[in-house]
Amino acid sequence: MQENSTDQPTPRRLKLTLQYDGTEFQGWQFQPNGPSVQQTLEEALEKLLGQRLRVHSAGRTDSGVHALAMPVHFDVDHPIPTANLPVALAKFLPVSISVLSAEDVAPDFHARHDAILRWYRYQIHLSPLRLPLGPRAWHVYRPLDLGAMEQGLALARGEHDFSGFRSSQCQARRTRLKIEQARLTRDGELIALDFKCRSFLQHMVRFLVGSVVAMGHGQIDRARLLRILEHGDRPELILCAPPQGLCLMGVAYNDAARQGMLAADPTPPSF
Amino acid sequence: MQENSTDQPTPRRLKLTLQYDGTEFQGWQFQPNGPSVQQTLEEALEKLLGQRLRVHSAGRTDSGVHALAMPVHFDVDHPIPTANLPVALAKFLPVSISVLSAEDVAPDFHARHDAILRWYRYQIHLSPLRLPLGPRAWHVYRPLDLGAMEQGLALARGEHDFSGFRSSQCQARRTRLKIEQARLTRDGELIALDFKCRSFLQHMVRFLVGSVVAMGHGQIDRARLLRILEHGDRPELILCAPPQGLCLMGVAYNDAARQGMLAADPTPPSF
């Protein structure tokens, strides 16, 4: 096949922003026991471009966790116009994944390493009854003391060793992190817990939510939460909050985006 | 087992209001090829009360169609307090079905026959890109002329023979119905089409939505829609709009509820 020299493809790095409903996926990363978002996206790219590419994401969401805006990057030497990718990929993706935007980025941009702020939201539906058509959330039927939960969030803010709030499989070397924002907003029966931090440990948000809910139920007090933060000894009764209430809301790569994310004040429900 | 005479169960008729996400069900009614909402609810009642009961609903939603508030009734001679049913049944129901309320009704109340107004809403997400975390909707990516759609809804209002807007399986004898309200509201990319009528034919809302969308795409004009309304000859190009965008919003049984439903003005998204 003759190639037109003006169409000669040049290797380039692209950034996509994905939205996905994590319900039916085994998380972001390849898994032997079911489809992952990464595998599904790489297969869609292969069908569209005829090339097997490796995609790198800003974070590895767990099985069942959602993303409102997950940045990923990959290198490609295909002439497809960048702006065509979102609609072109839609033909090869399930309804649970969508590419919201595509842009060319510098060849050294890295979706994970260059992130300076990540925003996770956790939604709780507080009610004796479930609402099947309500927002994605952890259904908590026992009343919660929101004041106690606010106290827990206040303690979690700032710099701590979060060893007590991670999965036993977490391989991160640095466990000392600074939570820049941790706050609770309520809209009727819906409670949103927002956490903003440069990076998170595996299951960290879910264990923080489990701890704050344990405070809301009077199962642990401030002193007990402080002991987890200072000594990492998490009591058995603290649940890893279930995945369906958790969503990666966005990732910032420069100071303007970081400031915008810290100032954001969305009204629940968001997902 | 000795029974306390004051606890002697008396046969009584109960009305429940259900909310369900229809995605995983073969509609309301028993089906050989998968679980129905009716079967799932009757099995939950059997587990809770130890009796196999027959439940009657206000309507038979199709496979994949949702209900924000579906009234049903049944007779039972069990001493469980009516008010306990919603929470007690939650233990035996999947997360996709919830009982919102329970009440005692007159022994001749009938959820289907006594309904004087039903409200269905159809949601369309109008955008080149899908939003996996957005509301339940029919994703329409080609632009729609909302003015033309409004014209179609205006024609559908009032009394007509709706033979042209029903499934070939529909067994209703009366096809002459009076649509009391048919309107469009828009909130950004989300369009809600509301239909209020005493009763609907099978697939009627979905064929009406398919027709109005065909007008919005310039595929049919007012004259062609009038011909369907007057002569029942629906052209092939009119789609039965997909089920995931449709939801039964509520059913009225008395004039006050009917007036409230006609005056309701909810902001989308509703489900």
The token duo for A94 is 């399930």
Q: What is the mean pLDDT of residues B105-125?
A: 97
pTM summary value: 0.92
pLDDT at residue B41 tops 70: yes
Interchain CB distance below 8 Å, B86 and A247: no
Cis-peptide, bond into residue A269, ω within 30° of zero: yes
Report the distance separating Cα A19 and Cα A270, nearest Å.
Answer: 13
Are the beta carbons of A202 and A172 closer than 8 angstroms?
yes
| Residue B32: per-residue pLDDT | 85
Which of A98, A131, A136 faces B130 most closely, judged by CB atoms? A98
Domains of chain B listed by start with CATH number: 5-105 (3.30.70.580), 117-252 (3.30.70.660)
Q: Which residues of chain A have pLDDT under 50?
A: 1-5
- The mean predicted confidence, pLDDT, of chain B is 93
Interchain CB distance below 8 Å, A90 and B129: yes
Q: What is the predicted ipTM?
A: 0.91
Are the beta carbons of B152 and B222 closer than 8 angstroms?
yes
Q: Which of residues 232-261 of B touch A (CB under 8 A)?
A: 247
Task: Verify whether residue A62 is a known catalytic residue.
Answer: yes
Which of B130, B133, B271 faces A66 most closely, judged by CB atoms? B133
| Residue B171: per-residue pLDDT | 87
SS3 A60: coil
Q: Count of CB contacts below 8 A, A vs B?
A: 62
Q: Please, which pLDDT band fits residue B81 given cuts at 50, 70 and 90?
A: very high
**pLDDT digits over B3-20, tens only?**
444 555 568 999 999 999
**pLDDT digits over B175-224, tens only?**
999 999 999 999 999 999 999 999 999 999 999 999 999 999 999 999 99
Which of A19, A133, A139 faces B133 most closely, judged by CB atoms? A19
| Residue B91: per-residue pLDDT | 96
Are the beta carbons of A76 and A53 closer than 8 angstroms?
yes
Q: Please, which pLDDT band fits residue B233 given cuts at 50, 70 and 90?
A: confident
Q: Does residue B66 belong to the interface with chain A, where contact is any CB pair within 8 Å?
A: yes
| Residue B237: per-residue pLDDT | 86
**pLDDT digits over B138-184, tens only?**
999 999 999 999 999 999 999 999 999 999 888 888 999 999 999 99
Q: Where are the beta strands (DSSP E) in chain A?
A: 12-20, 56-57, 66-76, 97-105, 117-126, 138-140, 158-161, 176-187, 190-197, 246-252
| Residue A4: per-residue pLDDT | 47
Q: How far is CA A177 from CA A122, A181, A198, A210, B217, in A?
A: 19, 12, 8, 19, 53
**pLDDT digits over A131-184, tens only?**
999 999 999 999 999 999 999 999 999 999 999 999 988 888 899 999 999 999
Interchain CB distance below 8 Å, A133 and B99: no
Q: Which of residues 117-146 of B touch A (CB under 8 A)?
A: 128-133, 136, 139, 141
- Beta-bridge partners for B191: B124, B186
Q: How far is CA A25 from CA A46, A61, A185, B46, B258, in A?
A: 19, 10, 28, 34, 43
